[in-house]
Structure 1
Amino acid sequence: MIVVTGATGALNGATVDHLLERVPASRIAVVTRDVSKAGRFAEKGVTVRHGDYADAASLPAAFEGAEQLLLVSSNDPAGDAVELHRTAIDAAVTAGAGRVLYTSHQGAAPGSAFNPARDHHATEQLLAASGLPWTSLRNGFYAHSLTWLAGPWRETGRITVPFDGPVSWTAREDAAEAAAAILTSDEAYEGPVTLTASAAPTFAEVAVIASEVSGRGVDIEVVDPQEWVAGQIASGRPEFVARFTLGMYQAAEQGFFAGTDPLLKTLLGREPRTVRDVLAQALS
């Protein structure tokens, strides 16, 4: 059985949708904190189980029978992500999972300025020490976030950032489809695998694409990081959110999101969605 956590969220929910195109519903179980939100899967014959990373006792039964277990990374701002992941991995060991797959992130590293990248790296170390076969899906930076990270460029004609660096903006929909392909593949994907779009444009290059897509001039402006944070706070964003986001831009400048890998294209059997596709969709 393939057991998927976080299936009421956008990423793993889409993965389950793709799994249903590949395997019978009877081979899939989804684990969620609120089973009432998984009704659409239950209606299709998918097994729905309660499980919560913050409730260790709930997990072994939720993971029972998992030949493959897909763990979504925690995005709970009030929780310790690594400890929550540790709880889930320990439960996978207890349940005797055949393989654990984890939704990680490109650039997972202890020295990244982007806090989730450090959490992902620490989680991968837990997986490596678990004794279970494991696969870490290092997805490229999700492209839908570009629509707000680039700011109100459609109104201002300007993309204002505190640092500029290359990012392999990757559609979440493509990453979900690739995860389903890996889960149903006869090939064993060992350890970290990188799933990215085929290009990693800088924000300056994104501005050029935005100009071409919108038919109006869009410029890039790189401002002092503290000035950028102050501007974010002045616009109503909480300071901790602004500084969290600042780390993403800094990690991009440092090259943590620069790499591209052909695996996503191979798994999809087509070219992954591009920045041009994302911006054109936003405009429409």
Structure 2
Amino acid sequence: MVESIALTGVTGELGSRVSRLLEQSGVPQRLVARAPERVPRVENCSVVRASYSDATALREAFRGVDTVLFVSAHEEPDRLWLHRTLIDAAAEAGVRRMVYTSFMGAAPHATFPFAREHSATEQAVMASGMRLTALRNSMYADVVPHFVGAGGVIRGPAGMGRAAWVARRDVARLAARVLLDDDHADRIYDVSGPEPLDLRETARLLSEVTGREITYHAEDEQEARDSRAGARQWQIDAWVGSYLAIATGETSVTSHTVERVTGVRPWSFDEFLRAEPDSWRHLLA
């Protein structure tokens, strides 16, 4: 049984869910946040102010902690530097194991640029001497409504590729379980929903649940890049790369990780849409 856990990302949707689930275990939590006033209110916890860029504050935040939930930083150009700063601080503080929210298909030559960064982060954790549990999450079902643009159209160069959308709720259940058990150390888990869907099927399910006509238009890569003209180059590369990763099949892996570890099958995309409408309907307003 893990004796002490520190959580990062606790002001976000995933980290806050994990914290509330861990509250039921009775294991002390140390909540590490840039904005402590925004952390969830849970029992048996302490709150420490630290940002991913502040190595000194992170070392103090992690001192005396066995295991850290490392929720990856927001997508930005210096994200890998932020990750390495946190990893170094945790290792110097004596953390034994890190549970990291990685990405499906993380690899040095992955199509999606941020999947390459996730791979580099995994390698940095292992090189630090800490034990790694990597949760290579598929694309979140929760963010799919963001894909719907003007006129109810999902546009992108995904072809007929598929993604096994996974709900944050199921990733949180899995993370809470693996944080509590060192038997999950030195493991890399693919984490997905139960079925891979192409974007036409995804649009159809959104249409059925919302009552709106939502369709998918498959762009070619140049068309997609032109449609994002004006954005910064790294943003264009990331946005286009995420759709190309779907097209290549890198996001289509369907795993049994969630059910095998937690004992409960993850939601399908349709089940997520119907179970948590308040979490996404505003995105389509």
Q: TM-score, normalised by structure 2?
A: 0.86
Deviates most, 174-183 or 68-77: 68-77
The match for 1:6 is 9
The Cα shift of 1:76 comes to 5.3
The match for 2:79 is 81
Q: Quote the RMSD (CA, aligned, Å).
A: 2.3
Aligned length: 273
The 8 Å contact of residues 197 and 265 in structure 1, kept in 2 or not, is answered as no
The match for 2:227 is 231
Q: Residue by residue, what CA displacement relative to the aligned partner does 1:81-134 show, whole Å, maximum 9, x if unpaired? A: 222211211112211112111111111111122121011000111112111211
Q: Residue by residue, what CA displacement relative to the aligned partner does 1:139-185 show, whole Å, maximum 9, x if unpaired? A: 11111111122435xx54x4332222111111112111210011123
Q: Please list every run of at least 4 consecutive aligned residues from structure 1 whose deviation after the TM superposition is greater than 4 angstroms.
A: 214-219
The 8 Å contact of residues 26 and 44 in structure 2, kept in 1 or not, is answered as no
The 8 Å contact of residues 169 and 197 in structure 1, kept in 2 or not, is answered as yes
Q: SS at the partner of 1:102?
A: strand
Q: Residue by residue, what CA displacement relative to the aligned partner does 1:233-259 show, whole Å, maximum 9, x if unpaired? A: 5xxx73543442111001111121111
The Cα shift of 1:188 comes to 2.8
Q: Percent identity?
A: 32
Q: Which amino acid aligns with 1:14?
A: R
Q: Which amino acid aligns with 2:62?
A: F
Q: Unaligned 5+ residue runs, structure 2? A: none
The 8 Å contact of residues 23 and 44 in structure 2, kept in 1 or not, is answered as no
Q: TM-score, normalised by structure 1?
A: 0.86
The 8 Å contact of residues 166 and 268 in structure 2, kept in 1 or not, is answered as yes
Q: Distance in 1 between matches of 2:142 and 2:61?
A: 31
Q: Which amino acid aligns with 2:154?
A: I
Q: Distance in 2 between matches of 1:214 and 1:246?
A: 26
The match for 1:127 is 125
Q: SS at the partner of 2:39?
A: helix
The Cα shift of 1:195 comes to 1.5
Q: Which amino acid aligns with 2:19?
A: V
The Cα shift of 1:204 comes to 2.4
The Cα shift of 1:23 comes to 2.1
The match for 1:23 is 26
Q: SS at the partner of 2:162?
A: coil
The match for 2:191 is 195
Q: Which amino acid aligns with 2:5?
A: I
Q: Distance in 1 between matches of 2:156 and 2:166?
A: 20
Q: Which amino acid aligns with 1:30?
A: L
The match for 1:178 is 174
The 8 Å contact of residues 65 and 97 in structure 1, kept in 2 or not, is answered as yes
